[in-house]
A and B are shown apart, each in its own frame.
Chain A
């Protein structure tokens, strides 16, 4: 039986273009912030789990070795976990497993990326095997544009309505990012700006798309026995779910996306969530492209299949609505990829412990964190709650 585990501290760097610091210096910023938040010293950390995107993205291979000193990992078990876009949530899961297993009491999870230092889309294109797929899959926008076009067609949705809802999602995330001091993009935009911005991979336009960010995030997980001694506000890990599917992008359905559905249902079952719209107070969805939120509302049971636009139109998913999504401004406004899934966990923990500052969702007690990865191949979910 797994032990109870809580998040007891989180830390983020200022995200954006971080050419002012080297990779380890940037990582130390997040680690020190998390230790300060938890009120712990580095000597209290029993093990370290870290990760980032495929190393060709930054050109430093086995980067955990370079980062080790900045994470205070000397003399401790140190693992690198790298699962593509899901890396951040995989790090969180791995750190959770470390503690839940009973082998470690306090574990530091660190995710980071420096997208300004290399060629992200060129690297991501080589995630697909070399014989059949990578020639045609045009980076992340190309892959997820497939999903968006298929979505509108599947449910016979008016393309204009989907585009309007997606543009509204982009605007909402940008507005919310203004209240997040860590966010990368900090600009007020309108629906017209989104619809008029240039096409990257139809239907994805520039303002439907996340930025390439530098940044790091650190989260400290502690065993149920010690967490209440570390903090008065533990964020308990109530559920975890993770699922993958075939490598072949044309083999499985990416609209009724099984790996996303399974990851959520597994986490819900563990957390005792049967009505997510009622029981969740906030969701940090992995939304590098505006359209994708619509699909995740449906897969995660916030509404029925094909009904995603309605949640946007009725204001359900904005701050002040029944289930605010990505009040941090989401991946759409900040995407240091290896950190991004972990930022979802950090933001979920901050929300349920009342530490989210200007973008706090009033009274949030239970939150969902999520990440996707690969050529639409894997999904991970973690549920955090302040309810003991």
Chain B
């Protein structure tokens, strides 16, 4: 017996509250400034800015500006595609530790030919220095940085 399949799509809209800390972070981000918050207990600067330290469980209110340049902590070259993928492959996704931060943020690394893995491997390693390339028309989202490019 041929298996019968019912096909349908569920598309639902969402509206996520940013909260005061993310709202302030993205206000600064729109002006091309990146902020973290320093934990009074462990001393780490957490980026993006947080309302509390997950390790010390204390509230954070000391805002610290970090640079829009940093170091690749790890990376991958994404060459497969799937339904619902936010980015168009191929692309390089990396964890980048910005200068002045104790944590790394995920973002894209681009600004060079991404069509060939071996060429990408020649440009990108753990430890590669990168710098943010900002959009002209910033909107206050994480995509105001188009990508990071090797310095």
Contact = CB atoms under 8 A, between A and B. Distances in A.
Interface of A: 19-20, 56, 59, 119, 121-123, 125-126, 130-139, 141-142, 145-147, 149-150, 153, 198-204, 246-251
B73 A137 contact: no
Nearest to B93: A136
Contact of A146 (B8, B18, B74, B107): B74
B85 A138 contact: yes
Given A19-B3, A139-B82, A250 B22 contact: no
Contacts of B79: 198-202
A203 B77 CA distance: 8
Nearest to B79: A199
Contact of B16 (A19, A131, A202): A131
B12 to A, nearest CB: 9
B143 to A, nearest CB: 7
Contact of A119 (B54, B83, B105, B142): B83
Interface of B: 3, 5, 8, 10, 14, 16, 18, 22, 26, 46, 48, 54-55, 73-80, 82-87, 89, 91, 93, 95-97, 103-108, 117, 120-121, 125-127, 141-143
Given A131-B142, A135-B143, A251 B80 contact: no
Contacts of A149: 74-76, 126
Contacts of A251: 46, 54, 103-104
28 contacts: A19-B3, A119-B82, A121-B82, A125-B86, A130-B14, A130-B16, A131-B18, A131-B22, A135-B106, A135-B143, A136-B86, A136-B93, A136-B106, A138-B85, A138-B87, A138-B91, A138-B93, A141-B80, A142-B78, A146-B75, A149-B74, A199-B79, A201-B77, A202-B79, A202-B120, A202-B121, A246-B55, A251-B54
